[in-house]
């Protein structure tokens, strides 16, 4: 039975990875699972300089999910290289490092700095940051801004680049195309949806930043549809599917919709065994349905003709 | 070591109005838990995230842990409807623990609401491991009916004082006013506070004015409880935002940057 998949040049022994910002440096999960069994880790990564993050409250529960506004708290690229990267590399699985900042130039500088470190398998570009040079417009909302950032990073590295796209857009296929045309090797679909909750006793929003990113099973059907839409567009670019995946059944839906790999995010918080539960469930599904190669499931949805 | 375990509900005891002590059979966690540590508890029903609960006891011989909950929201209502013998998923033990200051012979425990739970565990631990320690308890509540854990605290404390907002039991006013009054005539060498943030902030001020060492057990919305989500943060002097679940929940009160946003 073959479970291995490829995302650009990244060889994964199975299709299960982690969504950025939900898996720490992996060591937080060492008491619960054998982290080396995961196909790859997408780590939150770093901005160029340290970011303090947002004040509390940073998260609140929602129906079948949660809202967060962590504010990408991190120790900067040097702090990441010193503290987190060595711990990540110990797991002996491909490490994909998240990159985020407020100007295309900074994105490129982070990647150039990380190029000098051994053992990194690729970069995931979080495009859900405000662009300081363009009046705070969020990169992933505009095809031309996506092109600019991805293009700058493409020039800065030969390693695979995965562009993480937001669902909060009118036409995700257009954004996906511009990421691909600018040199992205793969796509992560999807980032969180913008959401909000208000405490009716105090009349204040629960989150200090008023709104936040909705994640968890609440967004799964949305994520699945985005993966399906982009996959149907035949852009010839591999997709890592994510958004509310909790079980193997969820993951298989994403594979069928066209994802070559799946990332477990918020589920890690509720069930620290979620990654391996999903992996073991996929193996069981393959055995029960006589699927010998996981690649036979990718994009194998029997979509109704329109 | 942290465990993802199944706990079996073995007993529910009503401590006061809408405050309950729940006992769970859970060997893995009972063997290792220390006073001040917490668990993340599945609440079933309409809840998605697990809920942090400060442990009120851990008996390694019986393999039983307990915590105190107050029925307030969706999670605790759902938890309250669970029956004896039912199983719930638990992650723990989590976080750091209270520490006993060297030379601190008289320790004041200041409790508000469910904050009594971890303090009961500390008091029982001190009784067993540090019998020379003298414990003075302070419990605050809205009214007489909601005073929680007085009887349990009397098992190890030399004295227990209660305060109610409406004066229906004990001192009339906040538990922190009661503490101030106590300290005007008596002395303590160390204070541990667990309860609403406003109460802990005030206790920290009282301790700081008198140069008393003070520990507080902080609370925040949590998603994971084991350092992955970075959601539950408190600002710590010189360190920026620290994760309450991983660096705490117990902090030296003098290191906490107390702000309105903590409240």
| Domain assignment present for A165 | yes
Domain, as residue range, for B53? 3-94
Domain, as residue range, for A154? 5-297
Indicate if the pLDDT at residue B228 is higher than 60: yes
Residue with tokens 């503290």: A83
Final residue of a structural domain among B94, B123, B150: B94
Residue B184 pLDDT class (50, 70, 90 cuts):
very high
Indicate if the pLDDT at residue B239 is higher than 80: yes
Chain B residues lying within 8 Å of A31, measured CB to CB? 1-3
Q: Which long-range contacts (CB under 8 A, 24 or more apart) does A134-139 make?
A: A138/A166
| Domain assignment present for A302 | no
Residue with tokens 């003709």: A305
Position A134 scores a pLDDT of: 79
Indicate if the pLDDT at residue B260 is higher than 80: no
Q: How many CB atoms lie within 10 A of CB A281?
A: 17
CATH number at B202 reads 3.40.50.80
| Domain assignment present for A212 | yes
Conformation bin of residue A98: beta by default, left when phi > 0, alpha when psi is -120 to 50: beta
Q: B234 touching A, CB under 8 A?
A: yes
Return mean pLDDT, chain B: 95
Kindly state the DSSP code that residue B261 receives in the 8-state scheme.
G
- The ipTM estimated for the assembled molecules is 0.94
Note the pLDDT tens digit of each residue in B98-151: 998 888 899 999 999 999 999 999 999 999 999 999 999 999 999 999 999 999
* Residues A168 and A131 sit within 8 Å (Cβ to Cβ): no
Residue B54, annotated ligand binder?
A: no
Give how far the C-alpha of residue A139 lies from the chain's centroid of Cα atoms, to the nearest Å. Answer: 16
Sorted by sequence, the CB contacts under 8 Å of residue B166 that are 6+ apart come out as B142, B143, B172
In total, chain B counts a number of residues equal to 263
B46 and A22 in contact by Cβ < 8 A?
Answer: no
The answer to whether residues B65 and B164 belong to one domain is no
The answer to whether residues B35 and B60 belong to one domain is yes
* Residues A278 and A261 sit within 8 Å (Cβ to Cβ): no
B50 and A270 in contact by Cβ < 8 A?
Answer: yes
Residue B232, annotated ligand binder?
A: yes
The answer to whether residues B102 and B213 belong to one domain is yes
Report helix, strand or coil for B106: strand
Low-confidence ranges of chain A (pLDDT < 70): none
B3 and A31 in contact by Cβ < 8 A?
Answer: yes
Radius of gyration (C-alpha) of chain B in whole angstroms: 17
Total tally of structural domains belonging to chain A? 1
Chain A residues lying within 8 Å of B246, measured CB to CB? 28
Chain A residues lying within 8 Å of B224, measured CB to CB? 28, 268-270, 272
Count of A-B CB contacts under 8 Å: 95
Sorted by sequence, the CB contacts under 8 Å of residue B18 that are 6+ apart come out as B70, B71, B72, B146
Final residue of a structural domain among B94, B111, B127: B94
The answer to whether residues B210 and B124 belong to one domain is yes
* Residues B178 and B163 sit within 8 Å (Cβ to Cβ): yes
- Among A213, A248, A272, A251, CA closest to A60: A213
* Residues B119 and B111 sit within 8 Å (Cβ to Cβ): yes
The answer to whether residues B105 and B212 belong to one domain is yes
Kindly state the DSSP code that residue B10 receives in the 8-state scheme.
E
* Residues A157 and A151 sit within 8 Å (Cβ to Cβ): no
CA distance B27 to A93: 33
The answer to whether residues B212 and B104 belong to one domain is yes
Position A131 scores a pLDDT of: 82
| Domain assignment present for A213 | yes
The answer to whether residues B126 and B227 belong to one domain is no
CATH number at B61 reads 2.40.30.10
Residue B162, annotated ligand binder?
A: no
The answer to whether residues B240 and B129 belong to one domain is no
The answer to whether residues B118 and B207 belong to one domain is yes
Indicate if the pLDDT at residue B263 is higher than 70: no
Residue A306: is it exposed, middle or buried by C-beta count within 10 angstroms (0-12/13-18/19+)?
exposed
Q: How many CB atoms lie within 10 A of CB A167?
A: 19
Position B261 scores a pLDDT of: 47
Chain B residues lying within 8 Å of A32, measured CB to CB? 2, 4
CATH number at B242 reads 2.10.240.10
User: Which phi and psi angles does B71 have, rounded to 5°?
Assistant: -75, 105
* Residues A268 and A22 sit within 8 Å (Cβ to Cβ): yes
Report helix, strand or coil for A16: strand
User: Which phi and psi angles does A222 have, rounded to 5°?
Assistant: -65, -50
The answer to whether residues B107 and B168 belong to one domain is yes
A32 and B4 in contact by Cβ < 8 A?
Answer: yes
| Domain assignment present for A303 | no
Indicate if the pLDDT at residue B53 is higher than 60: yes
A23 and B228 in contact by Cβ < 8 A?
Answer: yes
Show which of residues 61-90 on chain B sit within 8 Å of chain A, judged by CB atoms.
89
Note the pLDDT tens digit of each residue in B142-175: 999 999 999 999 999 999 999 999 999 999 999 9
* Residues B235 and B255 sit within 8 Å (Cβ to Cβ): no
Helix-helix angle A172-181:A220-232, to 10 degrees = 60
Note the pLDDT tens digit of each residue in A178-232: 999 999 999 999 999 999 999 999 999 999 999 999 999 999 999 999 999 999 9
Which positions of A are annotated as active-site residues? 129
| Domain assignment present for A170 | yes
Kindly state the DSSP code that residue B53 receives in the 8-state scheme.
E
Give how far the C-alpha of residue B177 lies from the chain's centroid of Cα atoms, to the nearest Å. Answer: 20
Total tally of structural domains belonging to chain B? 3
Final residue of a structural domain among B36, B71, B94: B94
The answer to whether residues B88 and B104 belong to one domain is no
| Domain assignment present for A125 | yes
CATH number at A216 reads 3.20.20.70
Residue B225, annotated ligand binder?
A: no
The answer to whether residues B228 and B192 belong to one domain is no
């Amino acid at each position: 039975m073959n479970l291995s998949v490829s995302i650009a040049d990244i060889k994964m022994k199975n299709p299960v990875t982690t969504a950025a910002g939900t898996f720490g440096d992996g060591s937080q999960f060492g008491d619960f699972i054998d982290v080396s069994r995961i196909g790859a880790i997408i780590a939150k990564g770093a901005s160029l300089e340290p970011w303090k993050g947002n004040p509390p409250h940073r998260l609140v529960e929602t129906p079948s999910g949660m809202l967060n506004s962590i504010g990408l708290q991190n120790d900067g690229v040097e702090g990441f290289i010193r503290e987190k990267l060595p711990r990540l590399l110990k797991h002996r699985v491909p490490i994909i490092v998240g990159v985020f900042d407020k100007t295309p130039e900074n994105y490129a500088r982070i990647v150039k700095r990380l190029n000098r470190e051994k053992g990194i398998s690729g970069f995931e570009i979080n495009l859900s940051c405000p662009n300081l040079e363009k009046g705070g417009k969020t990169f992933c909302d505009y095809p031309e801004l996506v092109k600019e950032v991805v293009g700058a990073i493409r020039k800065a590295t030969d390693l695979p680049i995965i562009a993480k796209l937001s669902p909060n857009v009118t036409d995700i296929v257009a954004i996906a195309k511009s990421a691909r045309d600018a040199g992205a090797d793969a796509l992560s679909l999807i980032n969180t949806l913008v959401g909000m909750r208000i405490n009716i006793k105090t009349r204040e929003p629960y989150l200090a930043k008023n709104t936040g990113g909705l994640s968890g099973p609440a967004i799964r059907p949305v994520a699945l549809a985005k993966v399906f839409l982009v996959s149907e567009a035949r852009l010839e670019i591999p997709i890592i599917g994510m958004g509310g995946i909790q079980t193997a059944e969820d993951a298989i839906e994403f594979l069928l919709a066209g994802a070559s790999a799946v990332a477990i995010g918020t589920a890690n918080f509720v069930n620290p065994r979620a990654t391996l539960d999903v992996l073991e469930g996929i193996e069981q599904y393959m055995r029960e349905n006589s699927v010998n190669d996981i690649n036979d499931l990718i994009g194998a949805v029997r979509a109704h003709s329109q | 070591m942290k465990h993802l375990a199944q706990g079996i509900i073995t007993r529910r005891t009503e401590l006061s109005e809408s405050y309950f002590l729940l006992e769970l059979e859970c060997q893995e966690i009972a063997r290792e838990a220390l006073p001040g540590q917490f668990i993340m508890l599945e609440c079933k029903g309409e809840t998605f995230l697990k809920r942090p609960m400060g442990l009120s006891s851990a008996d390694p011989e019986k393999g039983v842990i307990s915590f105190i909950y107050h029925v307030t929201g969706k999670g605790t209502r759902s938890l309250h409807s669970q029956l004896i013998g039912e199983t719930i998923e638990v992650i723990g033990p989590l976080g750091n623990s209270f520490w006993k200051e060297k030379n601190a012979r008289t320790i004041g425990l200041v409790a508000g609401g469910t904050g009594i739970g971890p303090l009961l565990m500390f008091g029982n631990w001190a009784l067993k491991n540090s019998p020379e320690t003298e414990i003075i308890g302070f419990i605050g509540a809205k009214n007489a009916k909601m005073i929680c854990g007085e009887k349990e605290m009397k098992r190890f404390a030399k004295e227990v004082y209660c305060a109610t907002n409406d004066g229906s039991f004990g001192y009339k006013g906040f538990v922190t006013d009661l503490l101030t009054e106590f300290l005007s005539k008596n002395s303590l060498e160390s204070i541990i506070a667990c309860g609403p943030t406003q109460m802990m902030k005030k206790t920290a001020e009282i301790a700081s004015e008198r140069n008393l060492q003070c520990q507080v057990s902080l609370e925040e919305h949590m998603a994971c409880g084991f350092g992955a989500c970075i959601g539950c943060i408190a600002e710590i002097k010189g360190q920026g935002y620290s994760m309450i679940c991983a660096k705490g929940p117990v902090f030296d009160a003098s290191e906490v940057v107390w702000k309105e946003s903590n409240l």
